[in-house]
Amino acid sequence: MKSITGINITKSYGKDELVTEVLRGINIEVHDGEFLAIMGKSGAGKSTLLYQLSALDKPTSGEIYIEGKNIADFSETELVNFRLFTLGYIFQDYALIPDLSAEENVLLPLLMRGLDWQTAKTKAQTALTSVGLINRDTNLPSQLSGGEQQRVAIARAVAGKPKIIFADEPTANLDSISGHDIIELLHDLHNKGQTIVMVTHESEYVEYCNRIIYLEDGLIVPEKCRLINPLPNYANTYLTTGSTL
Amino acid sequence: MRDLRIGLFLGLRQIQQASLWTTLLIITVILFTFLNLVALSGILIGIVDGALDQVRSEALGDINILPLENETRIKETERLIDELKTYPEIASFSPRYTGLATIEANYKERHSLSDEPNIIAVNITGIDPIAEKETTELENIVGEGSYFDSTENGYILIGKYNIDRYAKQFGDVFNSLDNVYPGDTVRVTVGQESREFIIKGIIDSKADLVSVGVYIPEREFRRMFNRADYNANQIAIRLKPGYDEKVIRDKIRDSSLASLGKINSFTEDIPKFIIDVRKTFDILGFFTGAIGLIVASITIFIVIFINALSRRRQIGILKAIGITRRTIEFAYITQAIFYAIIGSGIGILITYYILLPYFQQNPIDFPFSKASLSISLNGMFLRSIALVTVTVIAGFVPAWMITKQNTLDSILGRK
């Protein structure tokens, strides 16, 4: 079952002669329960691809289906609701709301989903417990370390049990110990069946993934793509389909 | 409802975590805008109201009885007075008798008939000094000299605009007596009869009506004018505190007294042009207040815009994690309402507990009025509503501008 299907995705910026093509025809599939790493050098288009796949941006051309729905068909309001109920995000610099405590950061999207305060609070506490931060729930982000903030961000992303979590270089701002902790957390989530798409440039963390796709100049480089821990039933598909992995 | 609830929550958290200086700045801007709205128009209207209050307290009283149409005097004044005494709402009243006379000063120093006489024509008023003292402030506005002593005869009070040293600032508007002081003797002539009076005091009122008057005790007036019937030309009535002039006026009108004289409340006796001036000042106050409102709204807009702009990335993140634009806009509206309510609230407290008592104690001394702040509760409420509305708009627009930007552009700080 496919979580995400991207067909011939292109993304370019600028106008006329100053157009920069960042993605040049990406075909990609992400399957349910898969932990996919997107790798590549700086400027290869990794984050841009993640933004397209995660419905934070719209491609210049091509189609993207998430959970079978073409995101181009969504109005802005529908897109916001879709992101709220279906997707979770982890950003490189944590992206917590500085005015809210750790617990409030986690429960905010839950309240938005229509949960009452008490239920949202309980779920937020559960999520914070799962990332080992239950005793820091009243702290503001500024009172937490980088690793702790990223764990709050993970708790926020997972609290609503989204179908897919997108992580944009979640360990880039962390020391190696904290980085490992974060990857372990993502790995645990994946082991519980969570679909995760992660951009990273740190090769030591990819061993936890099912698959790596490698980008160069806006294109997938098949030779550098790897299956690390193939998902059952998909083992033969990836490497035989070129850029349509 | 969900958007509103979460917007309120986000807004309150932003207020809690906001810079104290920013919060104080916005609240101060709103406070001064409110004071500008209230105080300026309040003083403008206060000038008129101050003048009216003086006319009420120094001349007309709360209710005024005048002769009926085509009559020169109030009929059966003695019966009317007896009736008025039965009204528990009436604190006091003062019958007045008026007639035309001339007053000549320094006539003993006039050596030749060709010398120009120091003489003026006046409308002279006969009063009962005690009744007048109980009804109006006439006693307290004697500038030079003093008020009548009820046991004395042969004294006169002259309004300051009949005296040259006071009236000359108005050019030739008033005919006035030159070189006249309390203690001087003047000659009052009615028809062929003349009588000397000693000037007891000079009436110094900002109300022209009072300052152009000349007053003598009523028994001397009636003797001079040969008025034996006691029918007065005017009766000023002062009500006890707490009674509404219109209610008591209607009560008197409903009695048989209405057939004896025309019974008007003070408000009815205010000339239309004064009401027009009051309205004009109100409009002027509104316009200056409106300009203040615009300036305040721009200031609040800039402050909240900068605030929202500096939180542009957060707004993008909020949208990314599924928070609707409307929720984020509510958060900024919540902040704006908070600032507006606190600013207006402090403004109301300052107005009621500092400005109003201060100006009541220390009215501003304008040439024709002592003005204090004149602010109605309705006016204050309307101005508060206007300020809150403008602030909400000024808070909403920047939030709307930032939230409508592309989510990813906001997160990445791209233009």
- Per CB-CB distance under 8 Å, the chain A contacts of B17 are 98-99, 140
Could you tell me if residue A13 is inside a domain? Answer: yes
Residue A169, domain extent: 2-240
Name residues whose C-beta falls within 8 Å of residue B275's C-beta, 6 or more positions apart in sequence: none
| Residues B354, B41 contacting (CB under 8 angstroms) | no
Q: Which of A142-151, B165-174, B313-322, B332-341 has the lowest mean pLDDT?
A: B165-174
Report which secondary-structure segment, H or E, holds A6: strand A2-13
* pLDDT tens by residue, A41-68: 888 888 999 999 988 888 899 999 988 8
pLDDT at A238: 53
Rounded CA-CA distance B11/B362 in Å is 42
Of residues A88 and B152, more confidence is placed in: A88
| Residues B83, B257 contacting (CB under 8 angstroms) | yes
CB nearest to B323's CB, from A76, A112, A114: A112
Tell me the average pLDDT across A83-102. Answer: 88
| Residues B409, A56 contacting (CB under 8 angstroms) | no
Which residue reads 């008023």 in tokens?
B125
Q: A77: nearest CA in chain B?
A: B324
Cβ–Cβ below 8 Å for B17 and A113? no
Q: How many helices (H) and strands (E) does chain A have?
A: 7, 11
Could you tell me if residue B61 is inside a domain? Answer: no
| Mean of per-residue pLDDT scores for chain B | 86
**φ, ψ at A211 (rounded to 5°):** -155, 150
- Is the Cβ of B317 closer than 8 Å to some Cβ of chain A? yes
Look at strands B90-105 and A195-199 and give their pairing.
unpaired
Tell me the average pLDDT across B26-39. Answer: 84
State the smallest CA–CA distance between residue A243 and chain B in angstroms.
26
Rounded CA-CA distance A166/B182 in Å is 98
Could you tell me if residue B267 is inside a domain? Answer: no
- Is the Cβ of A169 closer than 8 Å to some Cβ of chain B? no
Query: Which one of B6, B23, B321 would you mutate to disrupt binding with A, by most A Cβ within 10 Å of its Cβ?
Result: B321
Helix A176-191 with A146-159: angle, nearest 10 deg: 10
Residue A127's pLDDT band, with cuts at 50, 70 and 90, is confident
Of residues B220 and B375, more confidence is placed in: B220
Residue B93 in this model has a pLDDT that exceeds 90:
yes
Q: A94: nearest CA in chain B?
A: B317
| Whether residue B100 is found in the same domain as residue B224 | yes
- Per CB-CB distance under 8 Å, the chain A contacts of B332 are none
Cβ–Cβ below 8 Å for B324 and A77? yes
Count of Cβ atoms closer than 10 Å to residue B149 Cβ:
11
| Residues B261, B80 contacting (CB under 8 angstroms) | yes
Q: Which of A120-129, A221-230, B140-149 has the lowest mean pLDDT?
A: A221-230
- Is the Cβ of A163 closer than 8 Å to some Cβ of chain B? no
Could you tell me if residue A215 is inside a domain? Answer: yes
| Residues B235, B94 contacting (CB under 8 angstroms) | yes
| Whether residue B281 is found in the same domain as residue B384 | yes
- Is the Cβ of B209 closer than 8 Å to some Cβ of chain A? no
Of residues B144 and B383, more confidence is placed in: B144
CATH at A199 = 3.40.50.300
Residue B186, domain extent: 68-260
Residue A245's pLDDT band, with cuts at 50, 70 and 90, is very low
Q: Which of A101-110, B69-78, B164-173 has the lowest mean pLDDT?
A: B164-173
Burial state string for A189-208 with b = 16 or more CB within 10 A and e = fewer than 16? bbeeebbbbbbbbeeebbeb
- Per CB-CB distance under 8 Å, the chain A contacts of B313 are 95
| Whether residue B79 is found in the same domain as residue B195 | yes
Residue B334 in this model has a pLDDT that exceeds 60:
yes
Which residue reads 């991207």 in tokens?
A6
Among the candidates B198, B230, B260, a domain finishes at B260
Which residues 85-104 of chain A have a CB within 8 Å of chain B? 85, 89, 91, 95, 97-100, 104
Quote the number of domains for chain A: 1
pLDDT at A242: 36
- Is the Cβ of A161 closer than 8 Å to some Cβ of chain B? no
Residue B110 in this model has a pLDDT that exceeds 90:
no
Could you tell me if residue B268 is inside a domain? Answer: no
Residue A230 in this model has a pLDDT that exceeds 80:
no
* pLDDT tens by residue, B40-62: 778 888 888 888 888 888 888 99
CB nearest to B320's CB, from A56, A111, A140: A56
Tell me the average pLDDT across B175-188. Answer: 89
Q: Is A77 exposed, middle or buried (0-12, 13-18, 19+ CB in 10 A)?
A: exposed
Cβ–Cβ below 8 Å for B314 and A98? yes
- The residue type of A190 is H
Tell me the average pLDDT across B114-126. Answer: 85
Burial state string for A127-137 with b = 16 or more CB within 10 A and e = fewer than 16? bbebbebbebb
Cβ–Cβ below 8 Å for B318 and A95? no
| Residues A86, A157 contacting (CB under 8 angstroms) | no
Residue B308's pLDDT band, with cuts at 50, 70 and 90, is confident
Could you tell me if residue A245 is inside a domain? Answer: no
Cβ–Cβ below 8 Å for A98 and B17? yes
Which residues 129-158 of chain A have a CB within 8 Å of chain B? 140, 156
| Whether residue B128 is found in the same domain as residue B153 | yes
Could you tell me if residue B62 is inside a domain? Answer: no
Residue B271 in this model has a pLDDT that exceeds 80:
no
| Mean of per-residue pLDDT scores for chain A | 85
- Per CB-CB distance under 8 Å, the chain A contacts of B325 are 76, 80
| Whether residue B96 is found in the same domain as residue B47 | no
3-state SS, one letter per residue, for chain B: CHHHHHHHHHHHHHHHHCCHHHHHHHHHHHHHHHHHHHHHHHHHHHHHHHHHHHHHHHHHECEEEECCCCCCCCCCHHHHHHHHCCCCCEEEEEEEEEEEEEEEECHHHCCCCCCCCEEEEEEEEEECHHHHHHHCCHHHHEEEECCCCCCCCCEEEEEHHHEHHHHHHHCCCCCCECCCCCCCEEEEEECCEEEEEEEEEEECCCCHHHHCCEEEEHHHHHHHHCCCCCCCCEEEEEECCCCCHHHHHHHHHHCHHHHCCEEEEHHHHCCHHHHHHHHHHHHHHHHHHHHHHHHHHHHHHHHHHHHHHHCHHHHHHHHHCCCCHHHHHHHHHHHHHHHHHHHHHHHHHHHHHHHHHHHHHCCEEECCEEECCCCCHHHHHHHHHHHHHHHHHHHHHHHHHHHCCCHHHHHHCCC
Pick from B169, B167, B190: which is nearest to B177 by CA?
A: B167
| Residues A170, A90 contacting (CB under 8 angstroms) | yes
Count of Cβ atoms closer than 10 Å to residue B341 Cβ:
16
Residue A221 in this model has a pLDDT that exceeds 60:
yes
Rounded CA-CA distance B88/B84 in Å is 9
Tell me the average pLDDT across B382-395. Answer: 85
Could you tell me if residue A224 is inside a domain? Answer: yes
The two tokens of residue B195 are: 């009588």
Query: Which one of A11, A86, A90, A99 would you mutate to disrupt binding with B, by most B Cβ within 10 Å of its Cβ?
Result: A99
| Whether residue B82 is found in the same domain as residue B181 | yes
| Whether residue B83 is found in the same domain as residue B231 | yes
Could you tell me if residue A156 is inside a domain? Answer: yes
Residue A236's pLDDT band, with cuts at 50, 70 and 90, is low
| Whether residue B166 is found in the same domain as residue B42 | no
| Residues B407, B341 contacting (CB under 8 angstroms) | no
Cβ–Cβ below 8 Å for B6 and A111? yes
ipTM of the complex in this document: 0.86
Could you tell me if residue B207 is inside a domain? Answer: yes
Q: A95: nearest CA in chain B?
A: B317
**φ, ψ at B304 (rounded to 5°):** -75, -35
Most confident listed range (A206-210, B151-155, B262-266, B282-286): B262-266
Among the candidates B260, B286, B318, a domain finishes at B260
Residue A152 in this model has a pLDDT that exceeds 80:
yes
State the smallest CA–CA distance between residue A68 and chain B in angstroms.
20
Could you tell me if residue B288 is inside a domain? Answer: yes
Among the candidates B212, B229, B260, a domain finishes at B260
- Per DSSP, the three-state class of A224 is helix
Tell me the average pLDDT across B259-276. Answer: 85
Q: What's CA B154's distance to the chain center, in Å?
A: 37
| Whether residue B294 is found in the same domain as residue B255 | no
Cβ–Cβ below 8 Å for A114 and B2? yes
pLDDT at A235: 54
Percent of chain B residues past pLDDT 90, beyond the cut: 28
Cβ–Cβ below 8 Å for B6 and A57? no
- Is the Cβ of B319 closer than 8 Å to some Cβ of chain A? yes
Residue B189's pLDDT band, with cuts at 50, 70 and 90, is very high
Quote the number of domains for chain B: 2
Rounded CA-CA distance B128/B222 in Å is 11
Sign of CA dihedral B381, B387, B391, B393: positive
Which residues 110-129 of chain A have a CB within 8 Å of chain B? 111-114
Q: A55: nearest CA in chain B?
A: B320
Name residues whose C-beta falls within 8 Å of residue B235's C-beta, 6 or more positions apart in sequence: B64, B65, B74, B77, B80, B81, B84, B93, B94, B95, B96, B261
Cβ–Cβ below 8 Å for B314 and A77? no
Burial state string for A43-62 with b = 16 or more CB within 10 A and e = fewer than 16? ebbbbbbbbbbbbbbbbeeb
Which residue reads 């409420």 in tokens?
B381
Q: Rounded to 10 degrees, what is the CA torsion of A67, A71, A76, A78?
A: -30
A vs B, Cβ pairs < 8 A, gives 67
Percent of chain B residues past pLDDT 70, beyond the cut: 99
